[in-house]
Amino acid sequence: MTESTGGTGATERVADVLLLFTDGPPTLGVSRVSRELGLSKAVVHRILQSLISRNLIAYDPDIREYRLGPTAAALGSRALRDSDLRTAALPFLTELRDRLHETVTISAKVHGGRVYLDEVVGTHEITMSVELGRRFPLHAGSSGKCMLAHSHPDELVRLLADELTALTPATPTDPGALRAELVRIRERGYAASAGERQGDAGSVAVPVFGPDGLVGSVSVCGPRFRVTDEFVAATAPKLIETADRITARLGGTAPARAVPTPTGRTP
């Protein structure tokens, strides 16, 4: 990443600094931000000071690092509250949770990945819960993979050209194998995963579409010992039905799929 002197470049640098706080540890120092974004420490320091003045970033003098500030939290809360996707999905999430008793989530596709917008937690004594608002890569976990399978071909080429980071030992990191799996996901209409984003979790997910195309995905997730191949096979048709109802509520069109005959997780 090069340092641009134009107005657009300056805006992009500020946005990139803020986005960096959505992916990594809760606090970051100037040196790490500089290294991650390829910017000089002087530029990073100026950006951080500007963000501090608006409470988007806060400085912790004890550890000499920065964290997201209260204004960023307010922006995030407002974005979640006003999300059309979240509003359209929530009644269907609750209905599906009541049928399956596992946690049901809705994710939105964002620049560089996806974020959880909301969840309806399962009713079992041991349940899964997700981190709302944090950006996750598309190649790790069923929610991201089903979005990736329906993303623009140019985006897929760019992602597969970069190193696929392993969040767990089960995260897909081989571009060829992932590309083949994405073909199968498009054909059958759902994605499944076991420990790809979080080691002890399993999930199954289906994409959601708005008037202009892909907007996110809906998933069912739980502890790996309950999200078996049999569970995936029984859940996928119900999840496809739910995703299609959310798509219809948004005014989108679901893609053509093969006749759903789920056979469990992709090998």
- Residues 243, 178 share a domain: yes
Q: What is the pLDDT of residue 91?
A: 95
pLDDT, tens digit, for every residue of 223-253? 999 999 999 999 999 999 999 999 999 999 9
- Residues 202, 107 share a domain: yes
The continuous run of DSSP H or E covering 17 comes out as: helix 7-23
Q: What is the mean pLDDT of residues 47-66?
A: 90
Q: What is the pTM of this model?
A: 0.74
Q: What is the pLDDT of residue 239?
A: 96
- Residues 108, 59 share a domain: no
pLDDT, tens digit, for every residue of 128-169? 999 888 889 999 999 999 999 999 899 889 888 888 999 999
- Residues 53, 110 share a domain: no
Q: What is the pLDDT of residue 110?
A: 86
pLDDT band at 81 (very low <50, low <70, confident <90, very high): low
Q: What is the pLDDT of residue 203?
A: 96
- Residues 197, 104 share a domain: yes
Task: Tell me whether strands 135-136 and 191-194 are parallel, antiparallel or unpaired.
Answer: unpaired
pLDDT band at 19 (very low <50, low <70, confident <90, very high): confident
Q: What is the C-alpha separation between 103 and 96, in angstroms, rounded?
A: 9
- Residues 175, 68 share a domain: no
Q: Residue 37 is part of which domain span? A: 7-74
Strands (E) in the chain, as ranges, are 57-60, 65-68, 103-110, 113-120, 135-136, 191-194, 201-210, 213-223
Q: Is residue 262 part of a domain?
A: no
Round the average pLDDT of the chain to a whole number and report it: 87
What amino acid is encoded at 194 in this protein? A
pLDDT band at 1 (very low <50, low <70, confident <90, very high): very low
Number of domains in the chain: 2
Contact 118, 89 (CB under 8 A): yes
pLDDT, tens digit, for every residue of 95-124? 999 999 999 999 999 888 898 999 999 999
Q: What is the C-alpha separation between 64 and 194, in angstroms, rounded?
A: 38
Joined tokens for residue 263: 């056979």
Q: What is the C-alpha separation between 229 and 233, in angstroms, rounded?
A: 6
Edge-first strand listing for the sheet containing 135-136: 135-136, 113-120, 103-110, 213-223, 201-210, 191-194
Distance of CA 205 to the CA centre of its chain: 12
Residue 33: CATH number of its domain: 1.10.10.10
Which residue, of 48, 74, 100, is where some domain finishes?
74
Q: What is the mean pLDDT of residues 186-214?
A: 94
Q: Is residue 198 part of a domain?
A: yes
Contact 156, 182 (CB under 8 A): yes
Q: What is the pLDDT of residue 197?
A: 93
Residue by residue, DSSP assigns 146-206 as HHHHTS-HHHHHHHHHS----SSTTS---HHHHHHHHHHHHHHS-EEEESSSSTTEEEEEE
